[in-house]
Amino acid sequence: MTNLGEDMEKILAVFKKGIELESFGIKFYREAADEVTDPKGRQTLQFLANEERDHWSFIVDLKHSFESGNKSSAKKIINKRSETKAHSTVFPKMEDFSEKIAESKGDEKILEEAEDIEKRSIEFYTSAMADVKDQDYRDIFNILIREENGHLQFVQQMRDYMILHGVWSGLEDYFANE
């Protein structure tokens, strides 16, 4: 079996596990958003659930493309993703979140768990990339790692703010610091 064939088997297995990881993240952030009474916290967690859903869709699209043997289709998906998420941050501009939200109490425990989820995702994709030789396949993992790192920084900033101030900072505070 060639390296390319071995890489294909590995990447399909990683896609399957990645879909599970992202599904868990979606579920966690949605349930956490339902539990949090703070409007800023709810908005933040819903935002993260949508980001995880976006990762899930990206991986599912790639998996289907790879299973069909259409590497050029996969390259288009990867290139489009690289172009749309090319900035160091994976978050949209603050104008997309114009709604003003009142300040209230939040839940540090949820952010600790969110931080763990993002770290596990980074570790998983980094480890998976180490086993793959083909650069096109490695590019997929670089995209996911970069985006998960962005999520981790976001969650850490939210958590730091909560530790210092006892309340959620909200998306507008994060984007103001970009």
Q: What is the total count of domains within the chain?
A: 1
% of the chain surpassing 70 pLDDT: 80
Closest CA to 149 of 88, 84, 58: 88
pLDDT at 143: 92
pTM confidence score: 0.74
CB half-sphere exposure, 29, CA atoms < 13 A: 25
Q: pLDDT for 146-159, tens place per residue?
A: 999 999 999 999 88
pLDDT at 84: 62
Residue with tokens 């703010």: 161
What tokens does 47 get? 């935002």
pLDDT at 156: 93
Q: pLDDT for 21-67, tens place per residue?
A: 999 999 999 999 998 888 888 999 999 999 999 999 999 998 988 88
Which residue would you say has higher pLDDT here, 78 or 22? Answer: 22
pLDDT at 114: 93
Q: What is the CATH number of the domain that holds 94?
A: 1.20.1260.10
pLDDT at 96: 41
pLDDT at 167: 78
Tell me how far apart the alpha carbons of residues 76 and 90 are, in angstroms, rounded to a whole number. Answer: 19
SS3 for the chain, per residue?
A: CCHHHHHHHHHHHHHHHHHHHHHHHHHHHHHHHHHCCCHHHHHHHHHHHHHHHHHHHHHHHHHHHHHCCCHHHHHHHHHHHHHHCCCCCCCCCHHHHCCCCCCCECCHHHHHHHHHHHHHHHHHHHHHHHCCCCHHHHHHHHHHHHHHHHHHHHHHHHHHHHHHHCECCCHHHHHHCC
The answer for residues whose C-beta is within 8 angstroms of residue 73's C-beta and 6 or more apart is 65
* Adjacent-strand bridge partners of 167: 105
Write out the residue range of the structural domain in which residue 82 sits. 3-176
Which residue would you say has higher pLDDT here, 22 or 76? Answer: 22
Asked if 159 and 106 touch (Cβ cutoff 8 Å), the reply is no
Q: pLDDT for 90-142, tens place per residue?
A: 444 444 433 332 233 347 888 989 999 999 999 999 999 998 888 888 888 99
pLDDT at 100: 30
Mean pLDDT of the region 159-171: 82
Q: Provide the phi-psi class of 166: left if phi over 0, else alpha when psi is between -120 and 50, else beta.
A: left
Which residue would you say has higher pLDDT here, 26 or 78? Answer: 26
